[in-house]
Amino acid sequence: MGKAIGIDLGTTNSCAAIVENGKPRLITYKGGTTTIPSMFAISEKGERLVGHDAKRQAQLNPQNTVAAAKRLIGRNFHSKTIEKIRQVFTYELVEGESNEVLVKVKDQVFTLEQISAAILRKIKDVAEESLGAEVDQAVITVPAYFNDRQRQAVRTAGRLANLKVLRVLNEPTAAALAYGLGKNLNQRIAVYDLGGGTFDISIIDIKGRIFEVIATGGDTFLGGVDFDDRVMQWVLEQFYKEHAIDLSFDRVAVQRVRDASEAAKIELSGATVTRIHIPFIAKNEANAPLDIDIEFTREKLEQLTQDLVDRTIQNTERILRESGSAKTQIDEVLLVGGQSRMPLVQRRVTDFMGKPPCKGVHPDEAVGIGAAIMSHSLAGTTSDDVTLLDVLPMPIGINKVDGTMHVLFPKNQPLPDYKTRTLTTSKDNQRSIMLRIYQGESQLCAENEMLGTFVFSGIRSAPKGKVQIEVTFHIDSEGILNLTARDKATGQTVESTLKLGKGGGAEPVSAAPAKSEPVERAPPPLPFTMPTSTLAQQIGGPAPVNGGGTPAVPRHDPERTTPGQLPGVRPVDAKPTDAAAPDLKVAGPYAKAGTPPAGAAQPGLWGKVSGWFKGLFGG
C-alpha cells in the first residue's frame, strides 16, 4: 500500500502535503518550491508539458497552453459562465457530445478531466520523488460552492491520474481542520477563502473534535485571475491611448501583459508603487520597437478591483444571515487563498467583521495541510476520531411542469442525507419515466445547472396511475447525488439510465469506455466572440495598427457582474429528513429510454460519464 497525501488542486497553483510522525507538512519539490502551476501545454515540437515547464513557455505559446482549467471542469458548454470564459481564455474551447466543455490543444481535443489528471499526475510524480515512496491515495480539495458535476469531474480526474480518491473535501473545511485540530477549541469561525479562481465563505463550528459547517456559499467565477484581468485591461488601454495600437489582437502580447499584471499585483501587496515594464511588445508604423513602461500604484489597483472585493463582502454578509450568526458571534476569521494577501481584502474584511483576521493559518498552505490531515485519517489506523459535518452548497431538485424547481435538498442541508419520492405514470401502459435533476439557487430550472436526466425504463404495463415508482435520492458526505428506484408493488429494482446533455437528449451512457485517443470535433467554434476591437470602440480613435479579426481579450464590463499529533476523521451515516413525502406525477413517457442492466445505487450523476474516457494520461 502506497502513501496517502492531501492535494490542493488550485486554479493557478496546486500543492500537496503529507502527515509524517503525526505532523503535517507541505511536500517540497526540486528547487525548494512547494507549489506547481496548474497548467498544461503542448509545445511546438509536440511535447506535453505540465506545471513549471508549461508556464515557462506560456508567453510564446498561449494558444496551446491551458491555464485555470478548474474554472471549466464539470460545466455545461452552453452555460452563461462559459460564454464569459470563452472571451478571455487564449486557448480554444470545443463542445463535447454531451454538451461538456472540451479543450483543443495542437489539433488534439481533451476533456477537462484529462487536463486536471495531467496536473494531478505531475503532483503525484514529484511527491513520489520527494518522499521516495509510492503515492496511490489522496484527498483532493474543491471549492465549497462546486456542484455535483464539478465534484464528480474532480473524482474522475483523480482516477485518471492513478490515484484512489479517498474523499473530495471542501477547501474551507480543510482550512478549518488545519486551524483547529488538536487544539480542543469551542469556537464559531468564518473561513474567507479567496483563491486564484474561486471564492468561498463558510461558517464553521469547532467543538473539540467536531467540525460542523453551519452555512457555506461563494462564487466559482471570482478569484485572483479576475484581479489580474482588471490590471491587464488597464495596461492595454494605456498602451492604446499612447500609441493607438490595440494589443488585444495579439495572443502573445496579451499573455505577456497578463503575466506582468499578475506580478505587479503581487508586488503591491508589500509595496505601494511598482512599474510594469514589458520590452518590445509591438512595433509602430516606422517599424520601431515599442515597450510598455508604466508606473502602477496600490491605489490604482484598489480602484480597479474595489467591486470584486465588494462582491466577496456581499457574499459573506449573505452567508452570515443564512447561518443565523451575528458578526459578534464569530470568534475568529480565517483568510485563506493567495488573493486574500491583498491589503484591500484584509482591510475590508477587518472593517466588515469588526476584528482583524486570525494569523493561525498560512493562507497558501492551510487547504493542503487540511487535506493531508484528512487523507492521513482516512488511510491510517488512528482511533481517536474527528467528526466532520458538512452541508450542501446549493439546492438540488427536479423540474416541475411549470418550469420551476421542486427542491429535494435545500441549501445548507446537513450531509449526508436521503429522501424518497414516489413517481406515478400519467398514461396507460407507460413503460418509462424521465426525471431531470437540477442544482442551483434559482426557482427556475432554466437558470440552474442541469446535472443530468434519469430515465426509469422497463416499467410493467398497467393503467395510468397504477404503477408507483419509489425513487431514493441519496446525497453523500461529499455532496454527490446517487439514485435508486424500485416498484413499490413488486419491490423490484427499476432499471435507470443517466443521460447527459442539453435537454437530456444525448444517448445513454455506455458501460464500455470510449477510445482513449482524442476525437476531433469539426468544425470547432471560434474561441473568441468579440466581433471588433472593444478598445477602439470604448476609447475611440483610429483603427488598430496591428492585428485583425477578433481580439484575444474583450474589454472589462463593469456591470457584470501546524498542529501536533492528529486524531482520525470519520464520516457520519445518512438519516432521512422526510420519510413521508407527497407523490409526484411525471407527465408523459420517455419513448427512447435505454435499458442497461439493473443495479443498485447509480454512481454520482456526473460520475457515470467518466467511463467514456480512459484518459490520455493513464487510468
Give the C-alpha separation, 284 to 482, whole Å: 60
Q: Is 279 exposed, middle or buried (0-12, 13-18, 19+ CB in 10 A)?
A: exposed
Q: What is the chain's percent helix, strand, coil content, to nearest 5?
A: 30, 30, 40
Local structure of 408: helix, strand or coil:
strand
Examine the residue annotation and report whether 384 is marked as an active-site residue of this protein: no
> Which residue out of 70, 124, 265, 499 is catalytically annotated?
70
- Catalytic one among 92, 113, 148, 193? 193
Q: Are 149 and 120 in contact (CB under 8 A)?
A: no
CA distances from 215 to 357, 369, 415 (A): 19, 22, 12
Question: What is the CB neighbour count within 10 angstroms for residue 442?
Answer: 14
Check residue 68 and give left, alpha or beta (phi > 0: left; psi -120 to 50: alpha).
left
Q: Which amino acid is at 175?
A: A
Q: Tell me the three state secondary structure of residue 236.
A: helix
Strands 13-20 and 289-297: unpaired
Strands 101-105 and 108-111: antiparallel
Question: C-alpha cell of 231?
Answer: 490590471
SS3 429: coil
For residues 492 and 458, the answer to whether their CB atoms sit within 8 Å is no
Bridge partners (DSSP) listed for residue 290: 282
List strands edge to edge, sheet with 584-585: 481-487, 468-475, 417-424, 584-585
- CB-CB contact of 269 with 283 (8 Å): no
Annotated catalytic residue 171: yes
Active site residue 70: yes
Phi/psi class of residue 168: alpha, beta or left (left: φ > 0; alpha: ψ in -120 to 50)? beta
CA gap 336, 204 in Å, rounded? 14
CA 219 to chain centre: 10
Q: Which residue among the candidates 3, 8, 205, 229 is catalytic per the annotation? A: 8
The SS3 of residue 239 is helix
Catalytic-labelled residue, pool 92, 100, 148, 171: 171
Q: Is 470 in the active site? A: no
d(CA 227, CA 195): 11
306's enclosing H/E stretch is helix 298-323
For 60, the grid coordinates are 510564446
Q: Is 386 exposed, middle or buried (0-12, 13-18, 19+ CB in 10 A)?
A: buried
The region that residue 157 occupies, defined by phi over 0 for left and psi between -120 and 50 for alpha, beta otherwise, is: alpha
List, in sequence order, every beta strand (DSSP E) within 428-531.
Answer: 432-439, 449-457, 468-475, 481-487, 495-499
Cβ atoms of 556 and 396 closer than 8 Å: no
Q: Three cell numbers at 590?
A: 420517455
The Cα 83–Cα 108 span in angstroms is 22
3-state secondary structure of 538: helix
Active site members: 8, 70, 171, 193
